Amino acid sequence: MMGPRPVLVLSQNTKRESGRKVQTGNITAAKTIADIIRTCLGPRAMMKMLLDPMGGIVMTNDGNAILREIQVQHPAAKSMIEISRTQDEEVGDGTTSVIILAGEMLSVAEHFLEQQMHPTVIIWAYRKALDDMISILKKIGTPVDVNNKEMMLKIIKSAINTKAINRWSDLACSIALDAVKTVEFEENGRKEIDIKKYAKVEKIPGGFSEDSCVLRGIMVNKDVTHPRMRRLIKNPRIVLLDCSLEYKKGESQTDIEITREEDFARILQMEEEYIQQMCEDLIRVKPDLVITEKGVSDLAQHYLMRANITAIRRVRKTDNNRIARACGARIVSRTDELREEDVGTGARLFEVKKIGDEYFAFITDCKDPKACTIILRGASKEILAEVERNLQDAMQVCRNVLMDPQLVPGGGATEMAVAHALTERSKGMTGVEQWPYRAVAQALEVIPRTLIQNCGASTIRVLTSLRAKHTQEGSQTWGVNGETGALVDMKELGIWEPLAVKLQTYKTAVETAVLLLRIDDIVSGHKKKGDNQSKQSAAPEATQE
Amino acid sequence: MLGEAVTLQLGHYSGCVGAHWWGLQAAALRSPAEPAELRAAALLRFGRGPGGTESPAPRLVALELKGGVGALRPDEAGTEPPVSWDGAIADYRDRDCASRDTGSRRGDAAGDAKGNPGAAGPGAAPAGSQDAPSVRLWSDYLNVPLHPKSLYVIRQYLHDGDCGCLEAFGQGESLLQDPACVEELEDRLHFYVEECDYLQGFQVLCDLHNGFSGVGAKVTELLHDEYSRKGILTWGLTPALSAVGDPQKSFCRLMNTALGIAHLSRHSSLFCPLSLSGSLGLKPEPPVTFPYINYNASLNYHSSAILAAALDTLTAPYRLCSSQASMLHFADSLTFSGRKVVAAWAALPFPALSGSSLPDVLSAHQDLPWKLLSSWKEQKVSSCFAQSVVLRGMCQEKATSSCPGQPRSPLHSCESPGQVLQHHLHSQFPGAFSTCQVLQQPCHTQPPFPQFFSPLLSRRGFLLDRAQGFSSAGVQSMPVLAALQSCPGLHSLLSGLCRELRPRRWGGSCAAGLEQDDFQEALEELRTLAQCYETGCGAAGSEEEGDSD
């Protein structure tokens, strides 16, 4: 009889791993990623300095920014990095917490896998725990009055305190709040706060950090097209275009046959007349400032200058949109369709300033700007980049609160409260699921634990007393003071976080843990590098006829 | 129409292609056998050389990084030497330099043959002409004198090394925001532009794979603003890429390429990506192969020679003595409907048996025998919107039917080679707007052009029935067929770049000095550009084709 012969199913250059090995591998990868940024949590966080292969420097303690720069091989590690990015895009804060939490969720599961518990059981328990966590969080959440400026500043401050800019956090907070309030836009009951589009951060190296500010308007890194155009205009009438002021070629193939010299002159004249016509259309609405996304020909510049109109060309589309929102103009695509209501009159001042070696056009002092530019000044590009990241986080926090005015206490208090509630509930459960369920509660404690670790206090002592504190009635808001490592009531310290961020953090962390636990096979179809190279170099010689 | 053009070489690979191109033109000038069909004055200026003789120098501004260009040969350093010392000085340095030069090359070639006898092959003979490993920088094989104003070495970045290279688009862009650099460039441009009687426009050779794509973006913007009525033909060059690279690096390259195409095509009258690489995307494809050329794709010396020969042929329409078309007109005829990007094709050499006639050759091939030089996978020629085809080196007497009897095909009944080609193109690409030029002058391939030809080629580059016995002269010239095409295949190239870039996360080092908004805008522009080449929605596509006829 024939013996069992190995059957080759997968192609030879695919690599396959399966079973327990994959699960432990995934868990180790997730833990490794979490360990990288563990020291970046809390107000006593350490910064990381990253050198990329091109020689650029990134200095940050922002979880997402760190992970973005590192290159990983393991697929599980890749998906961990991906979640911090999702967190950043979704709520803009808690990027470090989500990674640490997800890593911890996985590492507590390792124990059950070793005891031969089936992953589906663990997953079921995790999902149940997530549902309960959400309902508990919603119960803890307290509403806030968004019009109370002091309260809002406090909330933003608690987000900023963990960052590099906490030295001038008051300024940063008011910048963030101002900017977000400016771009807040309500129309027919639909609330829109699009920070990405309408609050632009412009970094200009040099000056002092204290010079940073929010403009009541827009700044673009452009100069006027013609040196004799006005650089300072009060109460400018602004026209925005997205067409070029150049002679436009035909859309289809054209052939012109000319027999007489006069005809040729006529063609040239027509081209000139075309530009002249465009400029006359513009001049009709009496603007002081014309801004276009495309080019402006020399001739058009000449006509505009004669009419005492300042022109700026090649503005970014997004900048143009912002200017439109700030000064109330409408972007026009054809000059002959220009009407009086398209002209923006909202700005009170147009000015071109020279900062350092570059010219910057300011359109400021707008009446009711719905877009703004934030100018950051500082010692170096790297510092400015970090400040921008922090400020973006602060604005995101502010936006989250404005969109959903619910708060939960920070400093690990929420985690402890949720963990306590989960442990209580698990006591009523029967069956094997109660252990992974309780493990989720235990995993949540990683946030206060890391906070304590990062400020150098005794982990076990503080955590035990914190646990004891949470068993008492009415002390759900007690957490860890990240500066000193002491127990403190968050209500008194004023450390609050938006509910939306917490919800998103928990959801993402648990979902990721569940996703990675469900995997029991990794098949990678990567070719070996060596093979490919030899094939490549052989190719040109091989095809000789 | 007589008119001059100024050439700009931005980057090292552009320098390589340029060096070969000037070499080809110099070789054409040296061989007085054929009537000069191409106006040398279109691209070259004739300064007063040593001893009062006229010596041609390219009307060129070359930007290169520190370390990217070696010492130019001393006799090439300038065309305006001190007048009183002409005789003696010229003698000494010529002799000295020539002997040193050939000596070193011969030595290297010998070493090469010893080390790798199989690869050297029968074509290795002419000493100094083979691909000596000493040929490292383009200045090593540049054999025309450069005007002192031509070369501008950028000191901020290094050509080679682990860091300090011009890697990212943003770095290149910011380089040209430095007023000192812009002034330097403008000075040089003005010098050439002012001595032109009638400036047709600019030819920009620009590296796409590194930070020079950003430099090119700013340079073309400057040209567009300053010389708005002149043609700006931009060639985006990419060397044949190594198969597997660092993923970070290849992503960086992809980003430079995409941003480069978006910006360069915005400000140029015509943009053509030129590369022997099989793909510009992340996944490497094997490089383009030519049936009668054995080249080493990893050597810039080889790959740039092929591109230069194609470029010399492609640019013929606006350099012809007899032609009426200017660069702007040439560009307009190809780029209507916003299709500013065109693809290049070339047959190097044009596969003709020695002694056969053009109609015979054309009817022997099902499709045209050319290869794509613009890096996308699909090689099938289906249709095109407009094209400009140049055939050179097929002699007049062989054009029409060799046997005087009955014409064997409609092609044989045409009178001139131009008509033959036009007729053939019309049947191959019905409905396309085709212009064609036939030149008698072949492409001269004397050294420093590498001798990488198959032994099946004769001295004049025609096919032989059997492998050539060893001939010491190598291939002296070859017939070339090349075309610029605005064709639907470009849709796949452009949208492919967008597709590969879109899911990538923003950030990292490639983004140095670049704003995310700018990046999104460039992507959007690429997408719009790609849509111009769409023919999927049947009616609209065919209508446009109908119009263009």
Q: Considering all CA atoms of chain B, what is the largest pairwise distance in Å, rounded to the nearest integer?
A: 73
Q: What are phi and psi of A523, to 5 degrees?
A: -115, 120
Structure tokens at A403: 């969109």
B252: distance to nearest CA of chain A, Å? 10
- pLDDT attached to residue B112: 36
A66: distance to nearest CA of chain B, Å? 10
Q: What is the pLDDT of residues A353-364, one digit of tens each?
A: 998 888 999 999
- pLDDT attached to residue A456: 87
Model pTM above 0.90: no
Cβ contact B242–A298 (<8 Å):
no
Q: Tell me the CA distances in angstroms from A84 to A36, A245, A397, B278, one per residue in order.
A: 13, 45, 16, 36
| B515 interaction partners in chain A (CB closer than 8 Å) | 316
The size of the A-B interface in CB pairs under 8 A is: 104
For B161, which DSSP code? S
Sorted by sequence, the CB contacts under 8 Å of residue B173 that are 6+ apart come out as B214, B215, B217, B218, B513, B514
Q: Is the peptide bond before B349 cis (omega within 30 degrees of 0)?
A: yes
Q: Is A525 helix (H, G, I), strand (E, B) or coil?
A: coil
Task: Give the C-alpha separation, A322 to A215, whole Å.
Answer: 12
Task: Give the C-alpha separation, B322 to B317, whole Å.
Answer: 9
Task: Give the C-alpha separation, B173 to A221, whole Å.
Answer: 14
**Which 316-335 residues of chain B touch chain A by CB within 8 A?**
332-333
Structure tokens at B65: 């990084």
Nearest by CB to B286, from A298, A529, A536: name it. A536
For A455, which DSSP code? T
Strand A142-143 versus strand B343-347 pairing type: unpaired
Q: What is the pLDDT of residues B11-45, one digit of tens each?
A: 999 999 999 999 888 888 887 666 677 888 888 88
Q: Does A539 touch chain B (CB under 8 A)?
A: yes
Structure tokens at B377: 């996978």
Q: Tell me the CA distances in angstroms from B339 to A174, B281, B336, B458, one per residue in order.
A: 49, 21, 6, 40
Task: Give the C-alpha separation, A509 to A444, whole Å.
Answer: 10
Cβ contact B337–A251 (<8 Å):
yes
Is residue A96 among the annotated active site residues? yes
- pLDDT attached to residue A438: 93
Cβ contact B296–A540 (<8 Å):
yes
CB contact at 8 A, B53 and B343: no
**Which 161-180 residues of chain B touch chain A by CB within 8 A?**
163-165, 167-168, 177, 179
| A202 interaction partners in chain B (CB closer than 8 Å) | none
Which string of b and e fits A238-270 if b means at least 16 CB within 10 Å?
A: bbbbbbbbbbeeeeebeeeeeeeeeeeeeeeee
**Which 180-209 residues of chain A touch chain B by CB within 8 A?**
none
Annotated catalytic residue within A393, A477, A508, A512: A393
| A222 interaction partners in chain B (CB closer than 8 Å) | none
Task: Give the C-alpha separation, A121 to A439, whole Å.
Answer: 13
Give the helix/strand (H/E) hosting A530: helix A529-542
Cβ contact A532–B249 (<8 Å):
no
Structure tokens at B497: 């770049």
Q: Is A22 helix (H, G, I), strand (E, B) or coil?
A: helix
- pLDDT attached to residue A288: 94
Radius of gyration of chain B (CA): 23
Annotated catalytic residue within A60, A88, A93, A96: A96
- pLDDT attached to residue B20: 92
A253: distance to nearest CA of chain B, Å? 5
Is residue A95 among the annotated active site residues? yes
- pLDDT attached to residue B227: 87
CB contact at 8 A, B233 and B277: no
Given a cut of 50, the residues of chain A with pLDDT beneath it are 527-545
Cβ contact A539–B509 (<8 Å):
no
A170: distance to nearest CA of chain B, Å? 28
B38: distance to nearest CA of chain A, Å? 25
Cβ contact B297–A539 (<8 Å):
yes
Could you tell me what percentage of chain A is helix, strand and coil, using 3-state DSSP and rounding each to the nearest 5? 50, 15, 30
Annotated catalytic residue within A60, A62, A225, A319: A62
**Which 83-112 residues of chain A touch chain B by CB within 8 A?**
85
| A539 interaction partners in chain B (CB closer than 8 Å) | 286-287, 289, 297
Strand A185-187 versus strand A190-192 pairing type: antiparallel
Nearest by CB to A540, from B295, B337, B518: name it. B295
| B249 interaction partners in chain A (CB closer than 8 Å) | 53
Task: Give the C-alpha separation, A275 to B138, whole Å.
Answer: 45
Q: Does B528 touch chain A (CB under 8 A)?
A: no
Is residue A259 among the annotated active site residues? no
Sorted by sequence, the CB contacts under 8 Å of residue B392 that are 6+ apart come out as B313, B316, B438, B439, B440, B441, B442, B443, B479, B480, B481
- pLDDT attached to residue B457: 84
Q: pLDDT tens string for chain B (549 positions)?
A: 468 899 999 999 999 999 999 988 888 888 766 667 788 888 888 766 555 566 788 899 999 888 888 777 544 444 444 444 444 444 343 333 333 343 333 333 333 333 333 333 333 333 344 444 467 788 888 888 888 888 898 888 888 776 778 888 888 888 888 888 899 999 999 989 888 888 889 999 999 988 899 999 999 999 998 888 888 999 999 988 766 667 777 888 888 999 999 999 999 999 999 998 888 887 778 888 888 888 888 888 889 999 999 999 999 888 888 777 788 888 888 888 788 899 999 988 888 887 778 888 888 877 778 888 888 776 566 678 888 999 988 765 544 444 555 556 777 777 788 888 888 888 888 888 888 888 888 888 888 888 888 888 888 888 877 766 655 567 888 889 999 988 888 888 888 888 888 766 655 556 666 777 888 888 889 998 998 888 764 433 333 333 333
Task: Give the C-alpha separation, B129 to B127, whole Å.
Answer: 5
Is residue A225 among the annotated active site residues? no
Q: What is the pLDDT of residues B187-236, one digit of tens each?
A: 999 989 888 888 889 999 999 988 899 999 999 999 998 888 888 999 99
